Chains A and B, each alone.
Chain A
């Protein structure tokens, strides 16, 4: 799909679904967050830290460079997010949960 010029700089509102320690820290199952249409994990972590500083040191690295290694992001339940930039659309869900699978 061809996007309108300037669309890259617009922000979109996405839903962050919280699990495990992230949910316990924030006290909510999900929060809304404004993010650039194309966002890196660092940008997502930074925006989330601004909105919920209680996550810093528990889920987000102290230097806000990303998530602590024991957490992972997943887009809409389908795509596990590494470091690369992520193209987001309004209404997307980013799931934030432990990267330690199994048990």
Chain B
């Protein structure tokens, strides 16, 4: 077999055993790798209805056929589990040498089940597994953990680990890996923490043969050339931070918990400003030629801090919480990375709490003296620390904005800005109508990356301020494209470098695996993967009302900037959601019909659980 090993490593932490699960050509061709193969394995090994923090929830790391090929941006992996934040499918991507090392260790995926009785460091070396004591790692930050593990097992070892937030089961805890990169969204770090698994160390030496190495090398050279051209200019120059100033001008920069869509201090935390005053250097992921990472550092007299800065972190720990001090944003982002927490969910949950505080629903007594107002950067930093330790107000906020609002009540759910429990990213849906639909229907909750629906809004294809029935098809196509991208796995920032993405990707797949693959096969795989993700959610209790947006978005018009007066009604959103279901060939209830599963070769996935899924379909109520 070329490009794959044809097997997943199955680790049971309870029994401390290792087994191998075969992955045949049919499964690999249908689900490719990354999030696609991960969705297949999750559907297969996650017991229906399982508590996400129970031992039986599998934590799955998946590589891809591209990993090990040395093609630019190809060293990526996916992490999947049932999300402790949403109760639905949780999938996250990260880029680092951990991906190549895991594949060289001899497996296409690592499926971890069970729960260790004591803190554990899982050491994987060329297919051999050791369950090592990790008691001495407890309480360490992510960078400290990685450093200690490397000291113990060798500097060449690649490490994935959790920080204090994962240990304390913060529901949006991330998994840090290989120098501070994060698999951030949907809370995989909490699942890892629930298994008493502090870190995974991987070392592999097995070559990963490809079918046509000579021609793949030529393709690789061409892709590298294109990756350095205009298609990636933004990422190399300013990085994703370039969004801040533009989004502010266009009225799409969520501010003060989505109460506004422009921020008066936006220029102070913009990419243009960071480049001038905080930029240290550019950095690259493993095997990447783009170099989108911008390392920034504080410049004031406070505690020195340095790290990567991305738009989503800057938005969530800046405008969303009313903070316009670039040094504070850098500190907060770095702190989240060290504690092992998703910056978006952390910032958005604190933004919810700040609004509660300003409305008098949370008081100084609740916060134990923290003046939790918008714009108070000291309060932001203090609260991040409390969340990771689950101390004081932090214990409430560690479960995310949905759970916190349910606990506090008093109408605060109206401004808990999440979809399906996952906090909203930095795209204002009222002034980006395609994105609004993408956020509403995404299987992992409020996610911008699994549809990239914003692309249509930032183009002449649509009027971003008006809803219409074209958006269903656009969103579906974006989701299927993203599913292929995230399964092969290419970096999203490379997407514009392709002349014909599906055709070129199919050729690459053939050169790596030696198996035939057409552009249409890949398109169909993207559709299949998204249907499988939806099927997982249906099994876990999804209903039509889960495909919605926060009340604030649907009931309040925007009040600032060029989009003042713009809103999004329930009727407009419902119309777009129905257009999406129609484009997908789903029922008007939003469920996947049996004939669609047959068409997509999904009926064999798990006959027993499919029966229960279809039984639940009959009783799914229409939304009020």
**Segment at the A interface, from B203-211, B234-242, B330-338, B610-618:** B234-242
- Given known contacts A19-B242, A20-B237, is B272 in contact with A101 (CB within 8 Å)? no
**A11 an interface residue at 8 Å Cβ cutoff?**
no
Nearest to B241 among chain A residues (CB) is A103
- Asked if residues A80 and B455 are in contact (CB atoms below 8 Å), the reply is no
**B562 an interface residue at 8 Å Cβ cutoff?**
yes
* Interchain CB contact (< 8 A) of B455 among A79, A97, A102: A102
| In the complex, chain B residues whose CB is within 8 Å of the CB of A81 | 460
Q: Measured between C-beta atoms, what is the minimum distance from B214 to chain A in Å?
A: 31
- Asked if residues A101 and B454 are in contact (CB atoms below 8 Å), the reply is yes
**B260 an interface residue at 8 Å Cβ cutoff?**
no
CA distance A72 to B245 in the complex (A): 15
| In the complex, chain B residues whose CB is within 8 Å of the CB of A103 | 235, 239-243, 310-312
* Interchain CB contact (< 8 A) of A100 among B233, B251, B457, B460: B233
- Asked if residues B310 and A98 are in contact (CB atoms below 8 Å), the reply is no
**A77 an interface residue at 8 Å Cβ cutoff?**
yes
| In the complex, chain B residues whose CB is within 8 Å of the CB of A51 | none
**B370 an interface residue at 8 Å Cβ cutoff?**
no
Q: Most A CB atoms within 10 A — which of B230, B312, B448?
A: B230
- Asked if residues A80 and B230 are in contact (CB atoms below 8 Å), the reply is no
Q: Measured between C-beta atoms, what is the minimum distance from B420 to chain A in Å?
A: 21
- Asked if residues A70 and B460 are in contact (CB atoms below 8 Å), the reply is no
| In the complex, chain B residues whose CB is within 8 Å of the CB of A23 | 272
**B619 an interface residue at 8 Å Cβ cutoff?**
no
Q: Measured between C-beta atoms, what is the minimum distance from A69 to chain B in Å?
A: 5
- Asked if residues A70 and B458 are in contact (CB atoms below 8 Å), the reply is no
Q: Measured between C-beta atoms, what is the minimum distance from A24 to chain B in Å?
A: 7
| In the complex, chain A residues whose CB is within 8 Å of the CB of B241 | 103
* Interface residue ranges of B239-270 to A (CB < 8 Å): 239-243, 245-246, 249-251
Nearest to A98 among chain B residues (CB) is B234
- Asked if residues B458 and A68 are in contact (CB atoms below 8 Å), the reply is no
Q: Most B CB atoms within 10 A — which of A24, A77, A80, A95?
A: A77
| In the complex, chain A residues whose CB is within 8 Å of the CB of B235 | 100, 103
* Interface residue ranges of B471-518 to A (CB < 8 Å): 492-493, 496
| In the complex, chain A residues whose CB is within 8 Å of the CB of B310 | 103
- Asked if residues B231 and A80 are in contact (CB atoms below 8 Å), the reply is no
**B271 an interface residue at 8 Å Cβ cutoff?**
yes
* Interchain CB contact (< 8 A) of B275 among A24, A77, A82: A24
B residues touching A (Cβ–Cβ < 8 Å)?
A: 230-235, 237-243, 245-246, 249-251, 271-272, 275, 310-312, 448-449, 452, 454-455, 457-460, 465, 492-493, 496, 562
Show 11 residue pairs from A and B whose CB-CB distance is below 8 angstroms, ordered by the A residue: A19-B242, A24-B272, A76-B562, A82-B460, A98-B242, A98-B246, A100-B235, A100-B493, A101-B454, A102-B454, A103-B240
> Nearest 8 A-B pairs (CB), nearest first?
A103-B240, A101-B458, A98-B234, A70-B230, A80-B460, A70-B233, A100-B234, A103-B311
